[in-house]
């Protein structure tokens, strides 16, 4: 068996594994921008296969926008807003970072969703230079549980805002036509067989939901191929993406997941370690054997996958044992993206909340707006005193000890190293 190089974390870039041939570097594995293996660095920034949505280098394109995040002056709108259409789900995953907000069991109303699409398309700053460019319809529950999500996708598309959808795949058949307008549809399968799927998703041993998810994905791939739509665009980042959070027993299934994904027509497989939810006290870590199994599985996929199939793994936000790093001092990411969420409690049907950290959805202190009914309040409160109060509250101690693995790790590292300090001497290109 070929030996895979040891993984080392490097800032900003997604890290891969250096494939070794009898102890000598043989080639870069897809997804890698820079790898330190056996004490040597290998850079491969110009390889075509690195020009994908999973390349963190794209964050530098927002450098000028982020320089404007200051206490005085106009704060630019977030380029991306995540929308949680529903705080409920038909599954119950062991690692669900929305387990607490799902108890809310509320949804965003049709009015909130459509008003938001209009507001987002008109929200501009700096003479129209900056605006909301993309909406990711994702977490807080299963987004396709909301009956208005199809209309919402169409409306965003009509307003020329890019969309992506992250789903557990169980309800794709209800919205197949509407999902074609997404740039990508990421399906959190997290397993390569029914037994692991059922165990992790809180289902009966006999459940056939896994088969339904795979059938739904195959159907979406098939119908998108026959249509001119965003989902079928000629790009390695568009299309249906099979996703796998690595937890424990599913590490050995990575290569089988890659086989299934290719067989049913997915464009790519994306894997990353599962994190511990912010509001769960339990802990888990990967053993040396599991990390070795991970390297073996990665190596198998790289050797066997078809040309053109994307295999991506996000490791840059983790240390070499796949635990959180969070080695930055302040959180400017709360001015870069936000999450629109259902209202809570007794508030009216057309109320909503705006949370500034998707990793701490259940944390009331992360809410810039709570049970608000005027959608225009989002733009009015953005970058104002209340927002900076949240920033001041997130101390470096809190980032280290209370925050979970930060989704916006690289965003914060760029601010710290390239905007607050010019550690890269950014103009020397
Ligand atoms: S499918 Fe998503 S929202 Fe539903 S339980 Fe699993 S992780 Fe949570
Ligand atoms: S996890 Fe912490 S550091 Fe990361 S975006 Fe949320 S509040 Fe900021």
pLDDT at residue number 316:
66
Is there a contact between 9 and 287 (Cβ–Cβ < 8 Å)? no
**Rounded-to-integer distance, Cα 314 and Cα 98, Å:** 21
**What was the pLDDT predicted at 244?**
96
19-36: pLDDT as tens digits: 333 333 333 333 333 333
Does residue 129 sit within a domain? yes
User: Which tens digit of pLDDT belongs to each residue from 273-298?
Assistant: 887 787 777 777 888 999 999 999 99
Is 47 domain-assigned? no
Is any atom of ligand 2 closer than 6 Å to the C-beta of 331?
A: yes
Q: What is the DSSP string of 272-284?
A: EEPPPPTT-----
Comparison of pLDDT for 16 and 164, the residue scoring more: 164
Taking alpha carbons only, the member of 200, 201, 140 closest to residue 170 is 201
Q: Rounded to whole angstroms, how far apart are CA atoms 254 and 243?
A: 10
Q: Among the listed ranges 78-92, 278-292, 405-419, which one has the minimum average pLDDT value?
A: 278-292
- Interval 208-262: pLDDT, tens: 999 999 999 999 999 999 899 999 999 999 999 999 999 878 999 999 999 999 9
Average pLDDT over the chain reads 87
CB-based contacts of 252: which residues, under 8 Å, 6+ apart? 293, 297
CATH number at residue 141: 3.20.20.70
pLDDT mean over 47-70: 87
Residue 38 has pLDDT above 50, yes or no: no
Model confidence at 332, pLDDT cuts 50, 70, 90, reads very high
- The verdict on the CB of residue 142 being under 6 Å from ligand 1 is yes
Rounded to whole angstroms, the Cα distance separating 123 from 120 reads 5
CA distance 161 to 132: 7
Cβ contact 117:163 at 8 Å: no
Q: Which of 84, 88, 91 to mutate to test the pocket of ligand 1 (most atoms within 8 A of CB)?
A: 91
pLDDT at 94: 87
- pLDDT > 80? residue 356: yes
Kindly state the greatest CA–CA separation across the chain: 65
Ligand 1 neighbour 91 (Cβ under 6 A): yes
CB 264 within 8 A of CB 212: no
- Domain of 110, in residue numbers: 75-429
**Token pair recorded at residue 360:** 């701490």
- SS3 of 10, please? coil
pLDDT classification of 7: cutoffs 50, 70, 90: very low
- DSSP assignment of 244-305 equals EEE-STTGGGHHHHHHHHHHTT-SEEEEEEPPPPTT--------HHHHHHHHHHHHHHHHHS
Ligand 2 pocket check: which of 66, 331, 336 to mutate, most ligand atoms within 8 Å of Cβ?
331
Q: What is the 142 CA–ligand 1 centroid distance (Å)?
A: 6
In a domain, 373, yes or no: yes
pLDDT tens-digit map of 154-177: 999 999 999 999 999 999 999 999
Backbone angles phi, psi at 133, to 5 degrees: -100, -30
Q: Which residue has the higher pLDDT, 381 or 105?
A: 381
Rg (the chain; Cα; Å): 21
Beta bridge partners of 163: 135
Is 154 among the domain residues?
yes
Whole-angstrom Cα distance, residue 410 to residue 329? Answer: 13
Q: Is the CB of 84 under 6 A from ligand 1?
A: no
**If you average pLDDT over residues 78-84, what whole number do you get?**
98
CA angle 334, 12, 7 (to 5 degrees): 125
Is 41 a member of any domain?
no
Q: How much of the chain, in percent, has pLDDT values that exceed 90?
A: 73
Any domain includes 35: no
Give residue 89's Cα distance to chain centre.
18
Domain count, the chain: 1
Please state, in angstroms and rounded to a whole number, the distance separating the CA atoms of residues 301 and 286. 21
Does residue 32 belong to any structural domain of this protein?
Answer: no
Average pLDDT over every residue of 374-401? 97
Query: What's the token pair of residue 400?
Result: 């280290």
Distances (CA, A) of 170 to 90, 144, 173, 211: 8, 9, 8, 10
Work out the average pLDDT over 112-138. 98
Q: How far is the CA of 331 from the centre of ligand 2 (A)?
A: 6
Distance in angstroms (rounded) separating the CA atoms of residues 322 and 293: 13
- pLDDT category of residue 98 using cuts at 50, 70 and 90: confident
**pLDDT one-digit tens code per residue, 302-322:** 999 999 899 998 766 777 777
CB 159 within 8 A of CB 198: no
Q: Which ligand 2 atom is at minimum distance from the Cα of 411?
A: 5
Percent of the chain at pLDDT exceeding 70: 88
Q: What is the pLDDT of residue 273?
A: 87
- Ligand 2 atom closest to the CA of 394, numbered from 1: 7
Classified as helix, coil or strand, 181 is coil
Tell me whether residue 401 is in a domain.
yes
Q: How far is the CA of 339 from the centre of ligand 2 (A)?
A: 13
């Amino acid at each position: 068996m070929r030996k895979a190089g040891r993984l080392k974390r490097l800032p900003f870039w997604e890290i891969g594994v250096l494939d070794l041939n009898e102890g000598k570097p043989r080639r870069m594995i897809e997804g890698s921008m820079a790898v330190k293996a056996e004490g040597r660095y290998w850079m491969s920034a110009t390889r075509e296969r690195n020009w994908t949505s999973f390349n963190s280098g794209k964050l530098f394109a927002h450098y000028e926008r982020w320089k404007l995040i200051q206490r005085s002056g106009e704060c630019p709108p977030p380029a991306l807003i995540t929308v949680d259409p529903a705080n409920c789900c038909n599954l119950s995953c062991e690692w669900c970072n929305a387990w607490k907000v799902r108890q809310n069991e509320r949804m965003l109303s049709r009015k909130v969703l459509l008003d938001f699409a209009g507001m987002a398309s008109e929200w501009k700053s700096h003479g129209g230079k900056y605006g909301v460019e993309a909406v990711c319809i994702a977490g807080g529950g299963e987004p396709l549980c909301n009956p208005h999500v199809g209309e919402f996708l169409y409306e965003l598309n009509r307003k020329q805002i890019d969309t992506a959808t992250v789903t557990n795949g169980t309800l794709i058949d209800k919205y197949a036509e509407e999902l074609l307008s997404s740039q990508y549809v990421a399906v959190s399968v997290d397993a390569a067989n029914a037994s692991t799927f059922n165990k992790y998703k809180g289902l009966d041993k006999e459940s056939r939901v896994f088969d339904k998810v795979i059938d739904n994905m195959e159907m979406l791939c098939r119908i998108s191929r026959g249509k001119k739509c965003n989902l079928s665009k000629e790009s390695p980042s568009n299309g249906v993406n099979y996703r796998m959070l690595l937890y424990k027993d599913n590490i050995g299934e990575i290569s089988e997941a890659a086989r299934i994904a290719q067989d049913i027509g997915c464009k790519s497989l994306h894997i990353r370690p599962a994190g511990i939810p912010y509001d769960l006290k339990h802990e888990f870590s990967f053993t040396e054997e599991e990390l070795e199994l991970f390297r073996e599985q990665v190596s198998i996929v790289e050797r066997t996958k078809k040309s053109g199939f994307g295999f991506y793994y996000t490791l840059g936000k983790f240390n070499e044992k796949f635990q959180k790093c969070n080695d930055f001092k302040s959180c400017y990411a709360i001015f870069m993206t936000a999450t629109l969420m259902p209202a809570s409690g007794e508030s009216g049907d057309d109320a909503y909340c705006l949370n500034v950290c998707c990793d701490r959805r259940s944390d009331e202190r992360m809410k810039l707006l709570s049970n608000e009914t005027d959608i225009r309040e989002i733009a009015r409160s953005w970058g104002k005193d209340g927002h900076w109060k949240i920033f001041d509250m997130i101390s470096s101690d809190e980032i280290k000890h209370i925050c979970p693995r930060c989704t916006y790790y690289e965003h914060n590292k760029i601010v710290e190293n390239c905007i607050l300090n010019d550690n890269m001497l950014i103009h020397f290109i």
